[in-house]
Amino acid sequence: MRYLWAPWRMEYILEKRKKGCIFCKKPMEKKDEENLILFQSHHAFVIMNKYPYNNGHLMVVPRRHCTDLNQLGEEEFQALSYLLKASIQILTKKSSSPGTHVGMNIGKVGGLEKNTSIFTLFLDGQGTLILCRC
């Protein structure tokens, strides 16, 4: 097993957990730049991970809190897919990385504290898979 050393995440690891779901609250606060939200549409948004494991760590999130992909409607899933594709295109164009890792966190088992479903992306600088705890 390989370990990833990301000491800048200690602030996140040690901080007191805030109540509520950041993926529901942040898009409503109308502070996109401060909240690291890059884009919002009616059904989904793209947000940078404040405590990334790696460069280019983005999350593509449905606007409606869903604990399971089956809860998403067709338009919501299409919005997620579109923003995922656009995010990959932008990361590829704006970096020298040879690739992008894409994963999906579904519920607490998927590594999320808030029991929701999101796509996660990050650049591949070395060809190594980096596990993500958003």
- Kindly state whether residue 45 participates in binding Zn ion, applying the rule CB under 5 A: no
Q: In the bound complex, which residue of the shown chain has the CB atom lying closest to Zn ion?
A: 21
Q: Determine which residue in the list 6, 9, 24, 90 makes contact with Zn ion, applying CB under 5 A.
A: 24
Question: Does residue 21 interact with Zn ion by CB under 5 A?
Answer: yes
Cα separation, 41 vs 2, in Å, equals 37
By CB under 5 A, residue 22 contacts Zn ion: no
Q: Which of residues 86-105 bind Zn ion (CB under 5 A)?
A: none
Q: How many whole angstroms separate alpha carbon 19 and alpha carbon 26?
A: 13
Report residue 1 CA to chain centroid gap. 24
Interface ranges with Zn ion (CB under 5 A): 21, 23-24, 65, 116
